Amino acid sequence: MSLLITETNLRSLVDALVKGATLVVGPKHSGSVVLYQPLAAGSDLTLDELPRRSAKELYFPVCEDILTFKRENGKLEVRDIDRSRFPETVLIGAPPCDAGSPSILDAVFSWDYNDEFFLERRRKSTIVGIACTKGDDACFCTAVGLAPDAKAGSDLFLTPLLGGSFRCEPVTEKGQALIDKHAGLFSEGAAGEPVAFADQSTGKLDLPKIKEWLNGHFEDPLWESIADICVGCAACAFICPACHCFDINDEGNPDNGTRRKHWDACGFSKFTNHASGHNPRDIQNKRYRNRIMHKFKYYDDKFGKTLCTGCGRCIRACPVGIDIAEILDTINKKAQQG
């Protein structure tokens, strides 16, 4: 016997959560595209397409205030942002490539400093993941150790079944609590056959071998061949579930202003520009090299995790057709050759 929920009851679950003042975010049609957006009702939820942008914006906004400052009568007053205002949130309908990314980012946002903006949002969120049944030739999650039915990062995991219902598997205490609170929407029954999972165009990569190759090829003609076409627009970084570079700026004037954290990207030409004028990554091949090194070597060196979920968004978004899966496959073949 399995725990099941019908599609009607899944939408009713969204309605119940919204009625209970929970922020519910899920895939929703916005014009001609699907985006992760707040859902006003269960009818807003769409499960037939990967959202154009990743779900990381829920935990790591494009731009956010981190403090305000005001000078008055010769005294400077600094005020923290009230993080208690962050709402209880349920992210629903996230495929494994999106559900798995926040747990990857936990490591860097709680490393030598606890980023309470990220971590408080994580504490107040529950992730309802769903097995992926519709991929395309840009998807490569299995190549980097995930799978269309991977439960990593989900609190509650749904598997679509033929006939329209979903098998429900609580993965964490948060997931079980969600089920317990809305028990009337779930039922015990015999699970039917699952809907076929999405196909993957790229075979599984030998990530340890790739890392070993990267260890010995900081300088390599491969980086120049990629840089010949990369325009440094950073679309790949902004759309990625795992990229997390940011900058901090003070905006306003000396007497009144706001300190803000906003997204940045290592692909930008000024990302590593020093105040002295020196730039250690002054040309594009060095910047793209850093992108690959960071995702498949540096992050693994430090945290034991791969900074990529294989969602394929960077491939779809790149204006000049750079395919990171092809690059990894090339490196994989070079690594196998020794």
Q: Give the tens place of pLDDT for each residue, 269-292.
A: 999 999 999 999 999 999 999 999
Find how far residue 189's CA is from the centre of its chain: 33
What is the value of pTM for the model shown?
Answer: 0.93
pLDDT band of residue 36 (cuts 50, 70, 90) is: very high
**pLDDT confidence of residue 338:** 67
pLDDT on residue 199: 80
Look at residue 308 and tell me whether its pLDDT is greater than 80.
Answer: yes
Cα-only R_g, the chain: 22
What stretches of 240-323 show up as alpha helix (H) in DSSP? 284-293, 299-303, 313-317
Q: In what order do the strands lie in the sheet with 75-80?
A: 75-80, 63-72, 256-263, 246-253
Q: What is the pLDDT of residue 22?
A: 92
pLDDT tens-digit profile of 153-184?
A: 999 999 999 988 999 999 999 999 999 999 99
> In the predicted model, what is the mean pLDDT of the chain?
94
pLDDT for 233: 95
pLDDT at 74: 85
pLDDT band at 201 (very low <50, low <70, confident <90, very high): low
CB within 8 Å of 35: residues ≥ 6 apart: 27, 28, 51, 52, 53
At 220-243, the pLDDT tens digits run 999 999 888 999 999 999 999 999
Residue 100 pLDDT level (bands cut at 50, 70, 90):
very high
> What was the pLDDT predicted at 287?
95
